[in-house]
Amino acid sequence: MFDKTALDAYVKRTYDPKRMENMLSGLREPCYGSLSSKTDGSGDNFSWLADNDDAYNGSPDFSEAQTGASSNTQTVGSKYLSGWNAWSAVAQLTSEIIGQTRNDDGAWARAYDVAFEKTLKGVEHINAVFFQGRGWGEIGQITSVSGATFVPKIASDITKYVVGMPLVFSSSLDGAVLRSATRLWVTAVIYTPGKEKVTLSGNLSTPGGVNDDYAFIAGARQNSATPSRIALTGLGAWFPNQNSAISANDSTLFTVDRSKNSRNYGTFIDATAGGSPVSGLIDGVTEAITVGGAKKLRCFCSKATFASIAKDLQNAVRYDNNGEGKSVGTKRLTIYSDGEAEGTLEISRVVNDTVIWGFDPSQIVKKSIGTMPHIDKEDGLTIARIYNSAGYESRLFQQAIFQFKNPAGGLRVQLV
**Do the beta carbons of residue 332 and residue 313 sit within 8 Å?**
no
Query: How far is residue 233's CA from residue 133's CA, in Å, rounded to a whole number?
Result: 6
Query: How far is residue 375's CA from residue 16's CA, in Å, rounded to a whole number?
Result: 9
Single-letter residue type at 166: P
Single-letter residue type at 76: V
Contacts of residue 234, defined as CB under 8 A and 6 or more positions apart, other chains included, come to 130, 131, 132, 133, 134, 135, 402
Three-state SS for 317?
Answer: coil
Query: Considering the entire predicted model, what is its pTM?
Result: 0.90
Which residues does the chain have with pLDDT short of 70? 1-4, 52-56, 73-76, 101-106, 316-331, 337-339
Query: How far is residue 121's CA from residue 289's CA, in Å, rounded to a whole number?
Result: 33
Residue 242: which of 201, 190, 287 has the closest Cα?
A: 287
Mean pLDDT over each residue of the chain, to the nearest integer: 89
Other CB atoms within a 10 A radius of the CB of residue 147 amount to 11
Q: How many helices (H) and strands (E) does the chain have?
A: 10, 22
DSSP state of 245: P
Long-range contacts of 43-46 (CB under 8 A, 24+ apart): 44/83, 44/84, 45/81, 45/82, 45/83, 45/84, 46/81, 46/82, 46/83, 46/84, 46/367, 46/401, 46/403
Q: How many CA atoms lie within 13 A of 414 on its CB side?
A: 15
- What pLDDT, on the 0 to 100 scale, is given for residue 317? 61
Tens of pLDDT along 259-295?
A: 988 999 999 999 999 888 999 999 999 999 998 999 8
Query: How far is residue 64's CA from residue 241's CA, in Å, rounded to a whole number?
Result: 39
Query: How far is residue 386's CA from residue 20's CA, in Å, rounded to a whole number?
Result: 23
Mark 19-35 as b/e (b = at least 16 C-beta within 10 Å).
Answer: ebeebbeeebbebbbbb
**Do the beta carbons of residue 166 and residue 219 sit within 8 Å?**
yes
- What pLDDT, on the 0 to 100 scale, is given for residue 335? 86
The H or E element containing residue 87 is strand 85-94
Distance from CA of residue 215 to its chain's centroid? Answer: 16
- What pLDDT, on the 0 to 100 scale, is given for residue 316? 65
**Do the beta carbons of residue 353 and residue 374 sit within 8 Å?**
no
**Do the beta carbons of residue 149 and residue 121 sit within 8 Å?**
no
**Do the beta carbons of residue 284 and residue 413 sit within 8 Å?**
yes
Distance from CA of residue 177 to its chain's centroid? Answer: 24
- What pLDDT, on the 0 to 100 scale, is given for residue 1? 44
Query: How far is residue 361's CA from residue 344's CA, in Å, rounded to a whole number?
Result: 12
- What pLDDT, on the 0 to 100 scale, is given for residue 383? 84
Query: How far is residue 115's CA from residue 11's CA, in Å, rounded to a whole number?
Result: 12
The residues with which 333 forms a beta bridge, in sequence order, are: 345
- What pLDDT, on the 0 to 100 scale, is given for residue 339? 67
- What pLDDT, on the 0 to 100 scale, is given for residue 276? 86
Tens of pLDDT along 293-338?
A: 998 899 999 999 999 998 888 776 655 665 555 566 666 788 886 6
**Do the beta carbons of residue 344 and residue 288 sit within 8 Å?**
no
- Where does residue 57 rank: exposed (0-12), middle (13-18), buried (19+ CB within 10 A)? middle
- What pLDDT, on the 0 to 100 scale, is given for residue 166? 98
Single-letter residue type at 99: G
Query: How far is residue 253's CA from residue 20's CA, in Å, rounded to a whole number?
Result: 32
Residue 133: which of 241, 41, 212 has the closest Cα?
A: 241
Distance from CA of residue 132 to its chain's centroid? Answer: 4
